[in-house]
Amino acid sequence: MTGSGYKSAWRSRLTAPDVVGVGLYGIRGRRGRAILTAIGISIGIAAIVAVFGISSSSKADLLAQIDALGTNLLVVTAGDTLGGDDSKIPVAAPDMARRISPVRSASAVAMLDTEVQRNKYDESPNGLDVYASESNLLETLEGTMTTGRFLDEETSTLPTVVLGSVAAQRLGITGLADLPTVYIGDQEFAVVGILDPLTLHPDLDRSVLIGEAATTTYLGADLYPTRVYVRTTPEHVDAVRSVLGRTVNPGAPNEVEVTRPSDALAARAQVDEGLQNLLLGLGGVALLVGGVGVANVMVISVIERRQEIGLRRAIGATRRHIGVQFLIESVTLTTLGGLIGAGLGSLITYVYAQQQGWTIVVPVTILGAAIAAALTMGAVAGLYPAVRASRMDPAEAVRPST
Amino acid sequence: MTADSVVLRLDNVVKEFPGSPPVRALDGVDLSIGAGEMTALIGPSGSGKSTLMNVIGTLDRPTSGEVRIDGVPTVTLSDAQLAGLRAARIGFVFQQFHLLEGATVLDNVASGLLYRGQGRAKRRAAATRALDSVGLSHRLHYRPPQLSGGERQRVAIARAIVGEPAIVLADEPTGNLDTGTSESIIGLMEELNVAGTTLLVITHDQDVAGGCRRQVTIRDGRLVSDTASEPRRLTEVGAAL
């Protein structure tokens, strides 16, 4: 204690509820201005929350799709030989693959060097491929039929085909009611089924599938697998992937490629990062401008409220009390803006995701971080005005205005 | 007058403002005010009244000399300690009232106790009593813009006395009021003085000064006269008009 006789009971004190009450005094008296000031911050926060919300919702949707399709399907394709020629997958490849114990099923398709047409006389190109297929292909791909049935033991030996969804469309076949047929070479084949679209295998959507036995019988072609589809147990995908090449082509494991189609879909989840960063940058700029706006309004407020500051000093406020009062005011303004922005950003996400038919995902961490950012912005923006208010000379502040 | 009863004592107080040459606003002021006094500090504008008021109110520090409030030497106190001293021992009444426009009359008066760390209920109870003593019990929940000038100054006076300070400093308390209202404010201050409040009224208005038993005149930063007389009571003023 400095100064003899100073009673500690005279210490200037403000209770915690009063610290808050005093901090909100300036906002209560100027609600319109408070809201306008908070809007700048809201826009920045809303943009950031919406960008994260929309990208999270989109990602969640893709991941849900991937989950539904399964990530446990591997595809073996023929690569290049050392000399650079096209290599061939051994005929025994599917059988070899099936011997790997975590492999649930494996099916080969062999592309045929021929074309499919609706009738004998049509020779226009239609971009459709013809594949010889094993009868368990549908099971391996976990595909479904739009109509009819897939090739089975019986139909695999007969001149019958199953059409991919795009192939059916291009050939003008919508159903099996009028017993449609197609021509491959000179041979007429009966259509017994049409496949639903296969999301991970758009190439098969554009294909016509024939049984292996029928291929040999009616088209007399050699059958070298073009691709082998391998479905594994989900836990052992990586293990199978690492041995699959060696297993199906022990002589030249380098000449086959093993891919996982779901990887491509997963990669799509990362694609929009550039746009996302741009929008985040814009949100950040809006936030910054909002913060400068708050600082500006606070400085004006300090000047306008000179006499209030003088009065408070006269009735016993310390410099610190005055500084804290203005700091709380600034933080309250930006936090208010942050809350409005978080709500607005969530709403934008909700509406957009609803339109896209996505599940709505607004990460709680982003909401928390956004509000924390607004709060920090308020502390930073309020610092200078608060210091300025606290340093105001009380004698000067109580001076009558003229 | 015993040492205990002296609530304000100034010893050779000098206040200079920087400049070339420096402006000496207070030039060796000695002043002693006892408990229960009602003193008028009179002087033309530019005489140093407001500077003296600020120095006495500890809103400003003297360049040299000593200011004791309630026996406590103030020049060595820190800024925060001075704030605490003001909260506990000094009441202010300003020419322009300085009320919080956004708060009710009751809360304006209660704010006189805000920085003493008391709870709101206690502050409001004391404020209700103070408003009663200034005759504004019927205006508790009004806001300052809804009041007349006289009523506003009564609110400000209630705020100044709510904490029962050692001294109330009133700086031109009637400067913004018409004659009739001024008289009622002076009358109120006289009543409060009779009830035990020590007042120092800074004014350039002779009528206001006439209401005070003791009159101190300041000119060019020096006290030039200090006279005590029987105050003209408001009733007499009224009769003379």
pLDDT tens per residue, range B99-144? 999 899 999 999 999 999 999 999 999 999 999 999 999 999 999 9
- Give the integer Cα–Cα distance in Å for B221 and B48: 5
Contact assignment for A321 to B72 by CB distance below 8 Å:
no
Which residues of B fall within a CB distance of 8 Å from A390?
none
- Mean pLDDT across the stretch A265-275? 68
Best residue in B93, B107, B116, B203 for a mutation probing chain A (most A CBs within 10 Å): B116
Q: Which residue of A has its CA nearest to B71?
A: A5
Q: Of the candidates B41, B32, B39, which has an alpha carbon nearest to the alpha carbon of residue B2? A: B32
pLDDT at A28 over 60: yes
Helix A261-271 with A31-69: angle, nearest 10 deg: 170
The single residue listed with the structure tokens 């089975």 is A152
Could you count the other beta carbons within 10 Å of the beta carbon of residue A197? Answer: 14
Domain B3-240 CATH superfamily: P-loop containing nucleotide triphosphate hydrolases (3.40.50.300)
- Give the integer Cα–Cα distance in Å for B128 and B123: 9
DSSP element (H, E) containing A281? helix A273-304
- Give the integer Cα–Cα distance in Å for A57 and A349: 8
Report phi then psi at B232, rounded to 5: -75, 115
**Any CB–CB contact under 8 A between A311 and chain B?**
yes
pLDDT at B148 over 70: yes
Best residue in B59, B90, B101, B172 for a mutation probing chain A (most A CBs within 10 Å): B59
Give the gap in angstroms from C-alpha A12 to the nearest C-alpha of chain B.
4
**Any CB–CB contact under 8 A between A16 and chain B?**
no
Give the gap in angstroms from C-alpha A14 to the nearest C-alpha of chain B.
5
Pairing outcome for strands B199-203 and B167-171:
parallel
- Strand-pair partners of B93: B170
Identity of the residue in A15, A28, A399 whose CB atom sits nearest the CB atom of B119? A15
B positions 158-217 inside 8 Å of A (CB) = 159, 172, 175
Identity of the residue in B57, B84, B101 whose CB atom sits nearest the CB atom of A11? B84
Q: Which amino acid, A122?
A: D
Q: Which amino acid, B29?
A: V
- Give the integer Cα–Cα distance in Å for B209 and B39: 8
**pLDDT band at A329; cut points 50, 70, 90:** very high
pLDDT at A166 over 90: yes
CA torsion A298-A304-A308-A310 (nearest 10°) is 100
Contact assignment for B115 to A13 by CB distance below 8 Å:
yes
pLDDT at A145 over 90: yes
Contact assignment for A2 to B74 by CB distance below 8 Å:
no
DSSP element (H, E) containing B12? strand B6-17
Percent of chain B at pLDDT exceeding 90: 78
pLDDT at A91 over 50: yes
Say if residues B91 and A315 touch (Cβ distance below 8 Å).
Answer: no
Token representation of residue B185: 């404010």
Give the gap in angstroms from C-alpha A379 to the nearest C-alpha of chain B.
23
Higher pLDDT pick, A252 / B11: B11
Percent of chain B at pLDDT exceeding 70: 93
- Give the integer Cα–Cα distance in Å for A306 and B195: 34
Contact assignment for A13 to B92 by CB distance below 8 Å:
no
Q: Which amino acid, B199?
A: L
Percent of chain A at pLDDT exceeding 90: 47
pLDDT at B240 over 70: no
Instruction: Label residue A142 left, alpha or beta by phi (over 0 means left) and psi (-120 to 50 means alpha).
Output: left
**Any CB–CB contact under 8 A between A313 and chain B?**
yes
To the nearest whole number, what is the mean pLDDT of chain B? 91
- pLDDT tens track for A47-81: 999 988 888 888 888 878 777 777 888 898 887 77
Identity of the residue in B60, B72, B114 whose CB atom sits nearest the CB atom of A315? B114
For chain B, the residue count is 241
Give the gap in angstroms from C-alpha B161 to the nearest C-alpha of chain A.
11
ipTM: 0.92
Which residues of B fall within a CB distance of 8 Å from A33?
none
- Give the integer Cα–Cα distance in Å for B29 and B207: 25
Contact assignment for B88 to A394 by CB distance below 8 Å:
no
Query: Where exactly are the structural domains of chain B?
Result: 3-240
- Mean pLDDT across the stretch A11-19? 93
Half-sphere exposure of B115 (CA within 13 A, CB side): 30
Pairing outcome for strands A160-163 and A181-184:
unpaired
* pLDDT at A7 (0 to 100): 78
Q: Establish, for the pair of chains A and B, how many residue pairs have beta carbons separated by less than 8 Å.
A: 127
Which residues of B fall within a CB distance of 8 Å from A316?
83-84, 86-88, 114-116
**Any CB–CB contact under 8 A between B111 and chain A?**
yes
- pLDDT tens track for A252-263: 888 888 888 877
* pLDDT at B210 (0 to 100): 86
- pLDDT tens track for A189-237: 999 999 999 888 888 999 999 998 888 888 887 788 889 999 998 888 8
Token representation of residue B135: 């005759």
**pLDDT band at A270; cut points 50, 70, 90:** low
* pLDDT at A2 (0 to 100): 46
Does residue B21 have a cis peptide bond before it, meaning omega lies within 30 degrees of 0? yes
* pLDDT at A1 (0 to 100): 45
Coil, helix or strand at residue A320: helix
Q: Of the candidates A283, A303, A292, A304, which has an alpha carbon nearest to the alpha carbon of residue A330? A: A292
Q: Of the candidates A105, A137, A133, A110, which has an alpha carbon nearest to the alpha carbon of residue A225? A: A110
Q: Which residue of B has its CA nearest to A25?
A: B102
Contact assignment for B96 to A319 by CB distance below 8 Å:
no
Contact assignment for B92 to A315 by CB distance below 8 Å:
yes
Say if residues A189 and A182 touch (Cβ distance below 8 Å).
Answer: yes
* pLDDT at A8 (0 to 100): 76
**Any CB–CB contact under 8 A between B17 and chain A?**
no
Pairing outcome for strands A187-195 and A160-163:
parallel
* pLDDT at A73 (0 to 100): 87
**Any CB–CB contact under 8 A between A2 and chain B?**
yes
Identity of the residue in B73, B83, B94 whose CB atom sits nearest the CB atom of A318? B83
pLDDT at B233 over 70: no
Q: Of the candidates A77, A74, A81, which has an alpha carbon nearest to the alpha carbon of residue A98? A: A74
pTM: 0.74
pLDDT at A154 over 70: yes
Coil, helix or strand at residue A100: coil
* pLDDT at A302 (0 to 100): 95
Contact assignment for B114 to A14 by CB distance below 8 Å:
yes
**pLDDT band at A273; cut points 50, 70, 90:** confident
